[in-house]
Every structure is written in structure tokens, then in C-alpha cells.
Amino acid sequence: MKLIPFFVIIPLSCAFIITLFRNRLRFLPGLLCVFSTFLLLGLSIHTKGSLAEGVSFVYKVGNWMPPIGISLVIDGLSSFMLVVINLIAFVVALFSIEYMKRFTARWNFFALFLLMLGGTNAVVISGDLFNLFVFLELASISSAALVAFGTEHEEIEAAFKYLVMSVVGSLFVLLAIALLYSYTSTLNMADIAMSLQAGSAGILIPFVSVLFIMGFGLKAGLVPFHAWLPDTYTAAPTPVSALMSGVFTKSLGVYTLMRILFNVLGVTPQLSKILMVLGALSMVFAVTLAVGQWDFKRLLAYHSISQIGYVVMSIGLMTPLGILAGLFHLFNHSTFKSLLFLNAGAVEYAADTRDLNKLGGLRKKMPVTGNTSLVASMAISGIPPFNGFWSKLMIILACVQANAIGFAIWATLASILTLVSFAKLQKFAFFGALPEQLKNIKEVPLLMRLPMIVLALICTFGAVLLLSPVAGNFLQPAVRVLLDGQLYAFRVVEALR
């Protein structure tokens, strides 16, 4: 458990080494990136394995006792998120070695990639609000630079839009932090939870909660705040879109929102209603927009919003089954959506276009890409053996169980529309006739095929995570943290003793 700070140290120091060497060793940036993400993946699985349920571990930075010093907190939820983040980051890093060969100044990409990963990891393990804000900004700034990486018209426009929106979001978060500080005189999350429990804060808590929902909702791309997301995902280099959709919106948006609302401020029935309505709104609204898209990546981007809607709605139910389903869907979505983005990247790499009208019949020429994308499409639209089916089924069951039949109907409707748009995607990109100009197309290199195969395997056998011995170690501790709400503070105090 002494290894916790390495979740931040490894990516940051590797990013530093890459910038030190620049282009002098051509193979170094990619190799270092893959190596460090692999190390982080191992570390996160080790952390997950060695943490018992219902226990938090607190690392005191510089041996200062919290709440005076900075603390890093690991519990069921954050160790779950760390596994998700580092799994996707490793796979995407592997993919980007070959993919990024088209760009110049590749070392820049890998350094920014690791910087962003360091920020994301640190947000998840941070135990105090201001640290969370600082690392949130670190991740946002480096991701904005990554979106602008191509420096063409679209990339720059999207990066500007994204940067402005995300800064406004962070400003709301900072305002909320300032207001909370003025009431509790502390920035430590456990300490804030304790002092909010001790006295009645009146109107402050709902107000601050709404500010947090606005700020983190912007980062998560929930529907009223989603305008940046389709443009950003379309314009960014594909590994970045995969990482942002698989990891970024979840750890910076959904995780932070849940952590603060459930564990620090304490969630009320009204707030949970707000979360459910926001989730249902994004679920249906985004998927209707997705059906009409003809750009491969833009279609996926709208689905990203809609799937995040599922997660938020399901967690907003506040029942054990709802939270379990939401977290399971979060994991599933990060696997199949990253896989779909990698497929889009592979198609773009081979065919040099993302326009569905100009594609077709790629299945015969690119068997690995075609088949893995079929797996991912079936997983996202909820076709039985794949992981997406189980989580969607659980979400709908949880809605019925919590007496929210309306939400269950919305979820089913969104799922049908998802199926429609992915049937369209498969038909126009991978089935049908091969256009004349794509006759000489080739399958992508091995290093790009391997990550897709790994993710497709996870999508196929994802249901294993629901079997009781595995779920008891992987999902259940995370569910427990959210269910226990403000007991979080007592766990942290317990761990400090």
C-alpha cells in the first residue's frame, strides 16, 4: 500500500523523461509509454486485490497528518476506477505506437498522454478537494493540447471549444469548493463530510451540489452540457478519442460527481432525481442524434453521451442493484467504446476516410477490424452473450425494482435506437459492396490488431465479472462505498488511526 503515490509518480516521471530525450531515441517515447501504462495496470490490479471490502487506505503525503497534510485515499471505488483507467490506457498506448506514425513530433503526443493519465489517476486517488481540482485541470489542459494535436482547421476549432467549456466547468467546481471551504474551514474530503454531518448547513448543500453537478456534468458530457463532446471526439486523434471516451469522462465526470455527492455532501432524494432525469435525458436525446450521423467517430461520440446517461441514471437510483448495474456498465462502456474508437482509427488508418458513405465491404479486406467491431457493436446495443447485454438488463431491472417504470421504458427505447444506429454503421462500413477506390485496402499492422483483439475478448467474456467470487472482489466493494455514503469519512479516520 506504500505504492499508492506511484500511480502519479510513474506517469509524470515518464512524461518528463520523454520530453528530456525528445526525438533523440526514436523508439523511446512509445516504448516508455507502453511500459509505464503496463506497470500501472499491474499496480492497479495488485492494489485492487490487496484491499479488503469496506476498508480505506490513506497515504499521508510527506508524513503530515491529514487534515493538515495532503492525503491520498484508496478504497473500493477508487481502486475499481484505477483498474478501468489503466486497463484502457495500456490498450490505447499499444494502439497508438503504430497509429501515431502518421504524425510528426510523436514524443509530444506520448508526453501529453502520460501527463493526462497522471492527472486522471491522481483525481481518482486524491483525498482532498483542492488536489482534486488541481489534477482535474492538469488532465483537462493536457487533453485540450492533445485534441489540438493535428493542428488542422477542425482540430483547433474543437480544441478551443473544448477548452472554453471545460474551463467554465472547472470554474463552477472552484466556486463550489470556495463556498464549502467558507462553511467548513477545511479542504479534506473526509473532514468536510464530518463537519457537514455535525451541523445543518441549510441552503448551502443543495446550492453547492448543483454547482458540482454543473461542473462535473460538463466534464462528463451530460446532455445540457454536452456541446463540446461530439466535436472534440471527432477532431482528436483516435487514441485520444478512445481514451477520453473510455476513461476521461468517467473518471473526471462520473467518478468525481459520485464521490462528492454520495460520500462528501450526502445525496438527497431530490438530487438523485436530478441525476436520474439528467441521465435519462442524455440517454435518449443523444442517441436520437446519433442515428442521423454519417461520420464514423461522430456517431460514436453521440453514443458516448448516451451511455454515460445510462451510468448516471442507474447510479442515481441509489439502490444496491442500480449502483452495481451502473458501475458494471461504466466498466463495460469503457471497453466496448474504446474498442469502437480503435476500430474507427483502424478504418481511418487503412481507408483514409471516416465518411460512412464512402466506406463499405471492409469486412472481407480487414477481418480483424470487422469482427472486433461487430463484437463491440453487439455489446453496445445489448445483444446477449456480450457484456453490454448484462449491464443493460440489470439497469432496466433496477429501474423496475425501484418503481421507476418510466425510466425503464426510456432505457429500453434508447437501447433499441442504439441497435438501429449500429446496424447502420455495420451495414455501411463493414458489410455491403466494396467501393472501387478501396480495392487495394489492407488490414492494419499487428500492433494495432492486438489491442482490438484484447478488448473484444474482454467484451465477450465480461459477464464473468458478475459471477459471485469475482464480483465480490471487483464490483461489490465499489458499490459498498457508494451505498455507505458518508461513512466514507469514518473509514478514513479509521485508517488514520
Q: Which residue ranges make up the site for another protein (CB under 8 A)?
A: 130, 133-134, 137, 141, 144-145, 148, 151-154, 156-160, 163-164, 167-168, 171, 174-175, 178, 181-182, 185, 187, 230-231, 234-235, 293, 295, 298
Shortest spacing between CB 93 and another protein, in angstroms: 23
Shortest spacing between CB 349 and another protein, in angstroms: 21
Angle at the Cα of 379 from the Cα atoms of 430 and 343, rounded to 5 degrees: 40
In the complex with another protein, the residue whose CB is nearer, 55 or 168, is 168
Shortest spacing between CB 337 and another protein, in angstroms: 19
Closest by alpha carbon to 489, among 4, 203, 73? Answer: 73
In the complex with another protein, the residue whose CB is nearer, 24 or 153, is 153
Shortest spacing between CB 113 and another protein, in angstroms: 16
In the complex with another protein, the residue whose CB is nearer, 234 or 369, is 234
The CA R_g of the chain, rounded to the nearest whole Å, is 21
Shortest spacing between CB 43 and another protein, in angstroms: 27
Helix (H/G/I), strand (E/B), else coil: 57: strand
Which helix (DSSP H) or strand (DSSP E) does residue 73 occupy?
Answer: strand 71-74
Contact 93, 10 (CB under 8 A): no
Shortest spacing between CB 129 and another protein, in angstroms: 10
Residue type, 215: G
Burial of 127 (0-12, 13-18, 19+ CB in 10 A): buried
> Looking at residue 245, what DSSP letter applies?
I
In the complex with another protein, the residue whose CB is nearer, 168 or 416, is 168
Shortest spacing between CB 175 and another protein, in angstroms: 5
In the complex with another protein, the residue whose CB is nearer, 8 or 448, is 8
In the complex with another protein, the residue whose CB is nearer, 21 or 294, is 294
Shortest spacing between CB 440 and another protein, in angstroms: 30
Closest by alpha carbon to 123, among 211, 220, 255? Answer: 255
In the complex with another protein, the residue whose CB is nearer, 154 or 494, is 154
Closest by alpha carbon to 283, among 108, 416, 100, 475? Answer: 416
Cross-strand pairs, 128: 188
Q: How many residues does the chain have?
A: 497
In the complex with another protein, the residue whose CB is nearer, 201 or 456, is 201
Contact 75, 56 (CB under 8 A): yes
Report how far apart, in Å, the C-alpha atoms of 446 and of each of 29, 38, 343, 352, 364 are.
19, 18, 14, 18, 17
Q: How far apart are CA 317 and CA 323, in angstroms?
A: 7
